[in-house]
Amino acid sequence: MAPDITVEELKAKMDNKESFIFIDVREPFEYEEFNLGADLIPLGNLPAAIPNLMEHKDQEIVIHCRSGARSGSAKITLSQLGFSNVRNLLGGVLDWQRVYGR
């Protein structure tokens, strides 16, 4: 499994405009309150989204949620399905807001 990613590493990737698939597995109301610009796929909808994600199986995928728990589950699910480079944002949005504010 790919190593997880810190908010500092993620911010550097975003600032450098690196290419990666970015998924937010929170609920729509959470996304509306604050988001990092990731594609919203709530954790409960992830199984239905798998067929569309298959073309990105070998690309870097960064998943985040509020604290890192839901995205950790999503990482395990995708890794078990053969996705080779899935990374969980440690601390999630809470850590991002702690470090960078809103």
- pLDDT tens digit string along 36-93? 999 999 999 999 999 999 999 999 999 999 999 999 999 999 999 999 999 999 999 9
Domain containing residue 15: CATH number: 3.40.250.10
Number of domains in the chain: 1
Q: What is the amino acid identity at position 99?
A: V
| 63 belongs to a structural domain | yes
Q: What is the amino acid identity at position 76?
A: I
Query: What is the span of the domain harbouring residue 63?
Result: 7-100
Q: Give the pLDDT confidence score for residue 102 in this predicted structure.
A: 77
CA-to-CA distance for 77 and 30, rounded, in angstroms? 22
Residue with tokens 């850590």: 95
| 1 belongs to a structural domain | no
- pLDDT tens digit string along 7-42? 999 999 999 999 999 999 999 999 999 999 999 999
CA-to-CA distance for 44 and 37, rounded, in angstroms? 19
| 2 belongs to a structural domain | no
